[in-house]
Amino acid sequence: MAVLPTTKHGNPVLTARVEPIEGVTDEILTLVDDMIDTMRNGETPGVGLAAPQIGRALSIIVAEPPPDHEGTEAVHNGAVVLMNPEIVYSKGHTIIEEGCLSCPGVTAEVGRPSHIVIKGLDRDGNAVKLEVEGALARIFQHEVDHLHGKFFFDHLNPIKRQLVKARIRRT
C-alpha cells in the first residue's frame, strides 16, 4: 500500500475518458490498495476516491462505508471497491454538503438522488449489484461522476457553479 499524490481540478486526467477494467491484474490489485491507502492517509483524507484522482484514467472507485453499513459485498480491507461501476437506478432527493479531494477546501450543498442501485465488479472481478442509500449512495454518485469527468459543482445552478469554480481557482 502506498499513498499517492492526488490530482487537482484542472488536471486533464480528471476529464479524460476512462478505460474499463477488462481483467484483474496484479497491477490493478496494487492500484486498488494504493487508492484505499490514499483515501485514508493522503494529504486530505476523504471517504471516497476515483482512479483519475490518482492520475489513472481507469474505471475504479473506492469508498469508505459509514459505520452503520451492514453490507459486505465488494468490501476489501474495510472499503467498498467497485470497478466499471454503473448506476442503474436512482430515486428520491436529498441535499448534502460535498467536498472533493481534487478541490481541497471548497464545499457546496448538492442535491442528488437519495437511493441508488449500482452495479460493477468487486476487487476479485465478480459482478456485484448494491442497493444503497444515505452517505454511501452519495459517495458512489460523487465518485462515478469523476469517471465521467464531472465534479460536484456541475450539479449546481449556473450562478452557484461559477461562484464555486471561482473559489477553486483561488485556492
Is the Cβ of residue 24 or residue 94 nearer to Zn ion in the bound state? 94
* Cell 497491477 belongs to residue: 27
Q: Which stretch binds Zn ion (CB under 5 A): 28-36, 92-100, 126-134, 158-166?
A: 92-100
Q: How far is the CB of 145 from Zn ion (least distance, A)?
A: 7
How far apart CA 6 and CA 4 sit, in angstroms, is 6
Q: Which stretch binds Zn ion (CB under 5 A): 95-103, 110-118, 121-129, 163-171?
A: 95-103
The runs of H, that is alpha helices, within the chain are: 26-41, 134-147, 158-170
Name which of residues 111 to 140 contact Zn ion (CB under 5 A): none
Q: How far is the CB of 151 from Zn ion (least distance, A)?
A: 7
100: contact with Zn ion by CB under 5 A = yes
Q: How far is the CB of 58 from Zn ion (least distance, A)?
A: 16
Burial label for 91, CB within 10 Å (0-12, 13-18, 19+), is exposed
Assign 99 to helix, strand or coil: strand
Name the DSSP letter for residue 39. H
Q: Which stretch binds Zn ion (CB under 5 A): 32-40, 83-91, 96-104, 158-166?
A: 96-104
Report the sign of the C-alpha dihedral through residues 16, 50, 134, 119, in that order.
positive
**Which listed residue (19, 97, 131, 143) is catalytic?**
143
Binding site for Zn ion (CB under 5 A): 100
